[in-house]
């Protein structure tokens, strides 16, 4: 299991990296579909669940503001593009971004680092991609997460992310 800690009081509740990827993408897309939160009708995240293949797919294209910190390191700040979205990473968690879009980039980069490890990713799966484009200041890519489909007690369909990283 990929070791992650969800911050106390975090907006997101999943307890696995794979679950956080799915939940974060879902939250962004749900808010994009709400004109109150998305008056400019921006579509930066696209998601789908495939029950037959047991897969959650997402593609994203987020704008970033590149800067350099005092040590000369490049930093990609991800501004919140949704209006009035209240988001908190919580306290004491693995991820610190104060915007949902920024949190997604953190998750992607964390997952990509784990995917490069033969210990954490013995099957050598490449389910998470991300690319920074300095020409248009965007960070884009795709996410694939295996899912387990079930039906809850109320009859609702539940897609639970299945772990693939150790």
Classify 107 as helix, strand or coil.
helix
Is residue 63 within 8 Å of residue 42, measured between CB atoms?
A: no
Q: At residue 1, does pLDDT exceed 80?
A: no
In angstroms, the CA 108 to CA 111 distance is 5
**What was the pLDDT predicted at 2?**
87
How far is the CA of 14 from the CAs of 11, 118, 139, 159, in angstroms?
10, 25, 23, 12
Q: What is the pTM of this model?
A: 0.96
Is residue 111 within 8 Å of residue 16, measured between CB atoms?
A: no
Q: What is the DSSP letter of 97?
A: -
What does the pLDDT look like over 97-152, one tens digit per residue?
A: 999 999 999 999 999 999 999 999 999 999 999 999 999 999 999 999 999 999 99
């Amino acid at each position: 299991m990929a070791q992650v800690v969800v911050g106390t009081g975090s907006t997101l509740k999943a307890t696995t990296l794979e679950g956080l990827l799915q939940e974060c993408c879902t939250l962004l897309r749900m808010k994009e579909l709400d004109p109150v939160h998305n008056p400019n009708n921006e579509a930066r995240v696209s998601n789908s669940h495939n029950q037959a293949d047991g897969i959650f797919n997402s593609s994203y294209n987020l704008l970033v503001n590149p800067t350099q910190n005092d040590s000369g390191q490049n930093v990609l700040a991800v501004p919140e593009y949704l209006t009035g979205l209240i988001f908190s990473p919580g306290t004491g968690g693995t991820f610190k971004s104060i915007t949902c879009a920024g949190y997604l980039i953190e998750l992607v980069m964390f997952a990509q680092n784990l995917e490069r490890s033969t210990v954490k990713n013995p099957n050598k799966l490449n389910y998470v991609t991300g690319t920074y484009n300095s020409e248009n200041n965007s960070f884009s890519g795709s996410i694939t997460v295996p899912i387990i489909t079930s039906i809850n007690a109320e009859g609702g369909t539940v897609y639970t992310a299945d772990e693939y990283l150790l």
